[in-house]
Each structure stands twice: as C-alpha cells, then as structure tokens.
Amino acid sequence: MNDLNVIYEDNHIIVVEKPAGVLSQAGSLDLPDLLTIIKNYIKVKYQKPGNVFLGLVHRLDTNVGGVMVYAKTSKAASRLSKEIRTHNFNKNYLAIVEGNIDVGKTETLTDYLAKDEETKTAYFTDDLDGKISTLTYKSLANKSVDNNNYTLLKIELETGRFHQIRAQLSKHLFPIINDSKYGKKQIDFNLGLFAYNINFKHPTLDKAMNFTIVPKDYPFNMFQTELDLLEENL
C-alpha cells in the first residue's frame, strides 16, 4: 500500500481511509498495517527523525475498509478513548447481505455476545457471560445479481463488540456477502461491510467532527446508483 488517503489532519488527530486487506495495527498476519503506514507518512511529511507517537483508538477487521481516526497526541488518544467508552463516538456502516429485506425497514437488534479466542469468532450467550451488543439497521435497496438476492443496509453501531455486525446480521437476517466465518459461501475476499461514517467531538477543539467515505469497489458497486444518491445527500 503506497497511497494513503488522508481525509483530515491537524496537530492532534489524523483521519484516513483504511482499505480492506490492511490491518488496523501490526499483528500476527503478514500484512501491511495502517498504524505503521501513518507513522511513516508523518515521519516523511514533518521530517521527524525519532519515534512518532500514534494512538490507536478503534479498530476495523482486516477485510473491512472504511474511515478511521488515529490520535497524534496522548491527550487526544485518552479523550477519544473516553468518548468510545461513554458511547459518544458514533460509527456507521454499510453492509450487503445475502437476501431480501423490505426497503425502508428499520430494526434494532440486541444480543449478548462473547468472543471465542480459539476460533476467533463471536458467539451468542446470556447476560452473565456476554456483553450487551446493540445495533440499528435500515434497508436502503434490493438487487438481484445472477439469480442471487442482495440488500444494502445502513447500520448504526451502538456498541463495538468483536465481529458484532457480522454475527448479528447472520443470526437475525442474512449473512454478509463474502463472509466465510458467518456465511455459507465466500465468492471473493472483499467482505460486504464498510465503515462509511464516524462522528465525534474533537479532543481539543471541542467541536463536532463528522467524516464520511462512500465505497466504490466490489461488492458495493452493485449498488452504485443508490450509493451515489446517498453521497449526494450527505
């Protein structure tokens, strides 16, 4: 990954687009990670010879693309982390599921989820073992492609649990397209899930910040007309 899409930057935060297939931070997989990429970008841009501080305050799954914010100071990292803990940091997603859901339908899903450390999947449990997990979805459009039905959903994530969206949609509705962990089949590596919007209070300027990216690549290009309209109305 050579090109970094910087959406916003100041002395305290940097907002970027994470492509699918890139880690949020370095891990066990032999893949590029966004934290290191941004650090290198800052080193070169500002000619910093030493170590660069960059705080990770939230994550996206490896095969999920979308908008992310990183903290450039410890003060910003602490305050953004507090916003996330107190549910004042809002994350909104687009998802494509394998089935038809009536356009305009809105529903809130609430479950208790826990993480299986061995299989690296989320599972449903009771309130003694799991964490409450809530999201609200709205059906935006339906499409039939090669005799397969798909629905584009807009999702407001109230809690950010491990694999929450993927697990809840698979249980209550349909699996996300190309989700090999919670779906029946995988056509392509590109998971039909994208973090298209985040909004939060700036950690030092005390003003509302709102950032949006509308996906253009497969599988979202199946709904290009609907996404173009969504982008126009932002």
- Tens digits of residue pLDDT in 92-136: 999 999 999 999 999 999 999 999 999 999 999 988 789 999 999
The answer on pLDDT for 185 being more than 80 is no
The answer on pLDDT for 57 being more than 60 is yes
Identify the pLDDT of residue 197. Answer: 96
**CATH (domain of 184):** 3.30.2350.10
pLDDT, tens digit, 9 for 90 and up, residues 26-35: 876 778 899 9
Q: Residue 86: inside a domain, yes or no?
A: yes
Q: What's the chain look like in SS3? A: CCCCCEEEECCCEEEEEECCCCECCCCCCCCCEHHHHHHHHHHHHHCCCCCCCCEECCCCCCCCEEEEEEECCHHHHHHHHHHHHCCCCEEEEEEEECCCCCCCCEEEEEEEEEEECCCCEEEECCCCCCEEEEEEEEEEEEEEECCEEEEEEEEEECCCCCCHHHHHHHHHCCCECCCCCCCCCCCCCCCCEEEEEEEEECCCCCCEEEEECCCCCCCHHHHHHHHHHHHHCC
Regarding predicted confidence, which is higher, 139 or 188? 139
Which of these ranges, 6-15, 161-170, 184-193, has the smallest mean pLDDT?
A: 184-193
End-to-end CA separation in angstroms for the chain: 28
Q: Residue 1: inside a domain, yes or no?
A: no
Regarding predicted confidence, which is higher, 45 or 190? 45
Confidence of residue 2 (pLDDT cuts 50, 70, 90): low
Domain that residue 173 falls in:
6-232
Q: Residue 152: inside a domain, yes or no?
A: yes
The answer on pLDDT for 15 being more than 70 is yes
pTM: 0.93
Summarize the confidence of residues 37-46 as an average pLDDT.
Answer: 94
Using CB atoms within 10 Å of the CB of residue 137, give its burial: 0 to 12 exposed, 13 to 18 middle, 19+ buried: buried
The set of residues, in sequence order, having a beta carbon less than 8 Å from that of 179 and lying 6+ positions away, is 166, 170, 186, 191, 192, 193
Identify the pLDDT of residue 127. Answer: 80
Q: Residue 68: inside a domain, yes or no?
A: yes
Summarize the confidence of residues 226-232 as an average pLDDT.
Answer: 84
The dihedral of CA 100, 102, 103, 109: what is its sign?
Answer: negative
pLDDT, tens digit, 9 for 90 and up, residues 81-93: 999 999 899 999 9
Q: Residue 93: inside a domain, yes or no?
A: yes
Which of these ranges, 139-153, 177-191, 201-215, has the smallest mean pLDDT?
A: 177-191
Q: Residue 175: inside a domain, yes or no?
A: yes
Confidence of residue 72 (pLDDT cuts 50, 70, 90): very high
Q: Residue 18: inside a domain, yes or no?
A: yes
The answer on pLDDT for 1 being more than 70 is no
Summarize the confidence of residues 38-52 as an average pLDDT.
Answer: 92
Number of domains in the chain: 1
Q: Residue 11: inside a domain, yes or no?
A: yes
Which of these ranges, 4-18, 195-209, 220-234, has the smallest mean pLDDT?
A: 220-234
